[in-house]
Copies of this chain bind each other. A is one copy, B any other.
Amino acid sequence: MPVVLPLHVERLIDLALEEDLFLGDVTSDATLDPAMEGEGRFLAKDELVLAGADVAVRVFDRLGASCRFEGQDGFAFGRGSFIGTARGPVRALLAAERTALNFLQRLSGVATLTRRCADALAAGGGKARLLDTRKTTPGWRRLEKDAVRAGGGANHRFALGDGVLIKDNHVAACGGVGQAVQRARARASALLKIEVEVSDLAGLAEALSAGADIVLLDNMDEASMAEAVRRASGRVLLEASGNMTLERLPRVAATGVDFVSMGALTHSAKAVDISFEITG
């Protein structure tokens, strides 16, 4: 069965293939017989959590080759493991290789970092779930959000249109947290919860009395977070955000917040190393 990707992802693949192949592949065209068939293998050079497998499959497919992986997105591979295979005309394999790897390495990088952070969060006890943010690579939001889930994280809102998040500018324009929440309740879709960003416990108090559904605790220390959990006492969901690091996550989890969000999952994940070698 063919892979069905969102049109938006197909358009990103269009851009990717065009930028690498707009003028063809002059080296392969000059040196390789178009009829020569071959096979190549993907190997993990780092320990990694796979993500982006469907995109890689589609990249090979677009160029007339096929590809399959030894596990789905979210599967963890040890260093040196055999990850997958591609087959088809050697020219197609070499033309697809770099683009497929560039997708796989970055997306698996996001999934791998997410897995590590999710594990750190779990180590702290508590119920906190790890969330991503909108700090994603422009054009890649869907792919990176999928990679976060592959790594064991959950997704915060996808875009500006599927979640209400009231920040200081909105509050200032409305003349207070209460009015801002009220307007949002009146005008936004009733299916959306209302989240308010606050930077201290006074802000939390305002948000609670305004009837927010979720409160984002921005850049607070763990002591304040714990106090916020105590004061909220279950009336709202609490999300901790700002300056999260792998080391800090267990301590944050221990405060009892419901969510911890980290921009770094997508904007600072290092690409993992995956090789592709023609084997025959």
Interface residues, chain A, with chain B CB atoms under 8 Å away: 1-2, 4, 6-8, 11-33, 36, 62-64, 90, 92, 94-95, 98-99, 101-103, 105-106, 129, 131, 134-142, 154-167, 169-170, 173-174, 180, 183-184, 186-193, 195, 214, 237, 258-259, 267-268, 270-271, 278
Contact = CB atoms under 8 A, between A and B. Distances in A.
B170 A189 contact: no
A26 B192 contact: yes
A124 to B, nearest CB: 19
Contacts of A134: 20, 98, 102
Contacts of A2: 64
Number of copies: 6
B159 A258 contact: no
What does DSSP make chain A's interface, helix, strand, loop or mixed? Answer: mixed
Given A31-B183, A160-B95, A162-B23, A36 B192 contact: no
A2 B135 CA distance: 27
A237 to B, nearest CB: 6
A17 B9 CA distance: 13
A29 B187 contact: yes
A271 B268 contact: yes
Given A161-B24, A174-B31, A4 B36 contact: no
Q: Which of A134, A139, A141 has the most CB of B within 10 A?
A: A139
Contact of A23 (B17, B103, B160): B160
B138 A31 contact: no
Nearest to A106: B137
A114 B185 CA distance: 21
Contact of A189 (B1, B12, B26, B94): B26
A23 B26 contact: no
